[in-house]
Structure 1
Amino acid sequence: MSTNNKIKVLCVDDSALIRSVMTEIINSQSDMTVVGTAADPLVARELIKATNPDVLTLDVEMPRMDGLEFLEKLMRLRPMPVLMVSSLTERGSEIALTALELGAVDFVTKPKLGVRDGLLNYTELITSKIRAAASARLLPSRRATAAKAAPGVAVPAAESLLRSPLLSTEKLIIIGASTGGTEAIRDVLQPLPSDCPAVLIAQHMPPGFTRSFAQRLDGLCRITVKEAEHGERVLPGYAYIAPGGFHLSLGRSGANYVAHLDQEPPVNRHRPSIDVLFDSVARHAGKNAIGVILTGMGRDGAEGLLRMRQAGAYTLAQDEASCVVFGMPREAIALGAAHEVAPLSEMSRRVLAHLRSFGERANRV
């Protein structure tokens, strides 16, 4: 592949070792090349002008200018795909989630020990995320969108669908997402009423980040959002997020749904895997579930959504125009797994409308 056809990557990190290893990893791939490295955002700013990269890898904590400040300016003045490189700490996870809110496509964690060998072991992960970033659709950041909105405007809540209770211990909403999914999940959960059926979520995310993600969503939503715990009862008004490094599946204990966590091998290279969650829902909930597959690279969840549909569940896939990466929804649609294809802005409304229509049919019986 000629240099002109390769993904051009600019690596920004204050660590010379990280810059060196990232360069080694990226240049080992036939379809990408490092066009420059920078120790801080001020140097990076000039290199962006000089090299016109396709993807920027950006450290979150850097000298001379905070990584988040630089990202916010970059997405406002010269939007481009950004992959954050974050330390696996509580502060690092919060910064990474804020970066996604500001418009970064995704993030990858730095290993704590043996930095060079650790990063080299991450070759497949890092390069796959760079490929996803290079093909990502750049959507307006939440901060930019909020700045344009009138002060005091509430999150749309599908008000006409909230007039009668949705509370049900049988109904379930099941969501799978990957690249671009943290903000997409937020868009789906925020309009949901406090009495909606239980929500189970598999989002591709490493250990150490899902707790911060759940806490952030919990402060923004009417429903209670938490990391799933093994063996806990699945209740209406709650959203349960698969912890990083664990598969989440649905089980039964008598008449109750329960959450099951395990560390079986990755499926489709992921743990949590969306297919694992969707398959368990097809077995234990069938027609009582609504399945939603959101933005993400690859095909995890596509076959599981089909099995949910075959088991009687109602299924939806996010449309291409609103996806950061259309991979997973596209695969699900190609399999015939989705009853509906909907823009992200309509997803909550469609889910609630189906729940309402199901309740009305049940009341007529």
Structure 2
Amino acid sequence: MSIKVMVVDDSAVVRQVLSGLLNAAPGIEVTHAVADPLLAMERMKTVWPDVIVLDVEMPRMDGITFLRQIMGERPTPVVICSTLTEKGTQTSMDALAAGAVAIVTKPKLELKKFLQSNASELVGAVRAAAAANVSRLAPRAAAAVPVPRVKLTADAVLPPGEPRAMAQTTEQVVAIGTSTGGTQALEEVLTALPRVCPGIVIVQHMPEKFTAAFAARLNSLCEIEVKEAASNDRVLPGRALIAPGGKHMIMRRNGAQYFVEVADGPLVNRHRPSVDVLFRSVSRCAGANALGIIMTGMGDDGANGLLEMRQAGARTLGQDERSCVVYGMPKEAVKRGAVERSLPLSAIAAEIVQQMSRTGGRGES
């Protein structure tokens, strides 16, 4: 059966272009394209869509209000397709907090050309939304993930090589990778952590300019410090570093200290930042001193990297299927033998705290 999509946007040009692009994709059908949420609600009385593609700024009712209403009455996957500006970034974060599955950004200029050249991103976001477990979405969800055609591995950023052996020490680190559904999952995990916990490095698939607002929001809610990573930031107990959108994050070691490098590079597994790149770097410089966690998300980014971590002596966890919005990334990691144990989302914070007890005493690397 086709994925039934409703487009809600006050621009006739946008409605026409989006409808054409989506209808051209196999297995997707635009059932209605309307100018505002009130018209949408009328149409939805007869045909309820599988996915809603929704603008934010519209007459009569704004998209965020409509989104909250939908998620409160009948949770439905929603993809926000809106103009991204510095002012609008917070609006986009409000949309994620209200329950949007994905965000596809659009510019103010050359809009038609942009939408046509980025059709794969929109189609990928709609497919990811249709596959989402909406019972896990409200009231928060994750950002859209671009879906380019060429798929590279972590070799493109961090060439393969034997992990450097490292004795277990008192300096522990936790590496987390997630995608669709990850903003909700990370908020649940990080807000449950006490101030005293291991240093954490995170890749959440998000577009540029979103991660700073996301990190700031989490920082306001958590006991630990949460910040968007910058090169040379130390990985410290009680601190979580989130890879910036559009950049890879690589963990390095200088003596007994861990720090991160934020770098450009090609898309890996169709993502930048890539979980595989982060996990490979952690496997090399932390080895058995690390805990790797792969959580909700579409695709397989992180599966190979988590396996490298496990082979280097790290403990590895996967979020279980029942608690995932999309059981894609953890499922692939389990299939490859990368996951030591699968746990519900509610149990992951306790495992991170437990990691602090894994102290060393077996010498230097």
TM value normalised by structure 1: 0.88
DSSP 3-state at the match of 1:267: coil
The whole-number CA distance in structure 2 between the counterparts of 1:301 and 1:72 is: 32
DSSP 3-state at the match of 1:173: strand
Q: Which amino acid aligns with 1:296?
A: G
Select the residue among 27, 37, 43 that pairs with 2:39: 43
Residues 286 and 312 of structure 1 are in contact (CA less than 8 Å); yes or no, is this contact kept in structure 2?
A: yes
Counterpart of 1:125 in structure 2 is 121
The Cα offsets for residues 150-192 of structure 1, whole Å up to 9 and x where unpaired, read as xxxxxxxxxxxxxxxxxx9720011111011011111111111
Residues 247 and 281 of structure 1, relative CA distance in 2, 3 Å threshold: same
1:86 to partner: Cα distance: 2.6
Counterpart of 1:289 in structure 2 is 290
The whole-number CA distance in structure 1 between the counterparts of 2:79 and 2:139 is: 18
Counterpart of 1:247 in structure 2 is 248
The whole-number CA distance in structure 2 between the counterparts of 1:56 and 1:136 is: 13
Counterpart of 1:27 in structure 2 is 23
Counterpart of 2:76 in structure 1 is 80
Residues 169 and 235 of structure 1 are in contact (CA less than 8 Å); yes or no, is this contact kept in structure 2?
A: no
The whole-number CA distance in structure 2 between the counterparts of 1:112 and 1:243 is: 23
DSSP 3-state at the match of 1:83: strand
RMSD after superposition: 1.8
Counterpart of 1:151 in structure 2 is none
Residues 8 and 37 of structure 2 are in contact (CA less than 8 Å); yes or no, is this contact kept in structure 1?
A: yes
Counterpart of 1:174 in structure 2 is 175
The whole-number CA distance in structure 1 between the counterparts of 2:346 and 2:86 is: 31
Q: Which amino acid aligns with 1:191?
A: A
RCO comparison, higher one (Cα < 8 Å, 6+)? 2
1:362 to partner: Cα distance: 5.7
DSSP 3-state at the match of 2:183: helix
Counterpart of 2:336 in structure 1 is 335
Q: Which amino acid aligns with 1:18?
A: V
Residues 78 and 100 of structure 2 are in contact (CA less than 8 Å); yes or no, is this contact kept in structure 1?
A: yes
The Cα offsets for residues 269-298 of structure 1, whole Å up to 9 and x where unpaired, read as 100000000000011111111111111100
DSSP 3-state at the match of 1:124: helix
Counterpart of 1:6 in structure 2 is 2
1:84 to partner: Cα distance: 1.2
Residues 9 and 15 of structure 2 are in contact (CA less than 8 Å); yes or no, is this contact kept in structure 1?
A: yes
DSSP 3-state at the match of 1:51: coil
Residues 11 and 57 of structure 1 are in contact (CA less than 8 Å); yes or no, is this contact kept in structure 2?
A: yes
Residues 60 and 92 of structure 1 are in contact (CA less than 8 Å); yes or no, is this contact kept in structure 2?
A: no
Number of residue pairs aligned between Structure 1 and Structure 2? 334
Q: Which amino acid aligns with 1:54?
A: D
The whole-number CA distance in structure 1 between the counterparts of 2:68 and 2:321 is: 25
- Deviates most, 191-200 or 280-289: 191-200
Q: Which amino acid aligns with 1:213?
A: F
The whole-number CA distance in structure 2 between the counterparts of 1:239 and 1:113 is: 36
DSSP 3-state at the match of 2:222: coil
1:92 to partner: Cα distance: 2.3
2:258 paired with 1:262: no
Counterpart of 2:321 in structure 1 is 320
Counterpart of 1:303 in structure 2 is 304
Residues 124 and 69 of structure 1, relative CA distance in 2, 3 Å threshold: same
The whole-number CA distance in structure 2 between the counterparts of 1:211 and 1:336 is: 34
1:223 to partner: Cα distance: 0.8
1:19 to partner: Cα distance: 1.1
The whole-number CA distance in structure 1 between the counterparts of 2:177 and 2:136 is: 22
Q: Which runs of no fewer than 5 residues in structure 1 stay unpaired?
A: 145-167
Q: Which amino acid aligns with 1:267?
A: V
Which segments of structure 1 move beyond 3 Å, counting only runs of 4 or more? 140-144
The whole-number CA distance in structure 2 between the counterparts of 1:112 and 1:288 is: 47
The Cα offsets for residues 59-115 of structure 1, whole Å up to 9 and x where unpaired, read as 122211121111111111122111111321233222222222222211111134311
TM value normalised by structure 2: 0.88
2:100 paired with 1:107: no
Residues 213 and 88 of structure 1, relative CA distance in 2, 3 Å threshold: same
The Cα offsets for residues 178-223 of structure 1, whole Å up to 9 and x where unpaired, read as 0110111111111111121111010110101111001000000111
Counterpart of 1:58 in structure 2 is 54
Residues 42 and 65 of structure 1 are in contact (CA less than 8 Å); yes or no, is this contact kept in structure 2?
A: yes
The whole-number CA distance in structure 1 between the counterparts of 2:229 and 2:102 is: 23
1:333 to partner: Cα distance: 0.9
Q: Which amino acid aligns with 1:285?
A: A
DSSP 3-state at the match of 1:139: helix
Counterpart of 1:96 in structure 2 is 92
Q: Which amino acid aligns with 2:67?
A: L
The whole-number CA distance in structure 2 between the counterparts of 1:264 and 1:83 is: 27
The whole-number CA distance in structure 1 between the counterparts of 2:136 and 2:23 is: 30
Counting only pairs closer than 5 Å after superposition, residues 263-278 of structure 1 correspond to structure 2 as: 263-278=264-279
Residues 172 and 355 of structure 2 are in contact (CA less than 8 Å); yes or no, is this contact kept in structure 1?
A: no
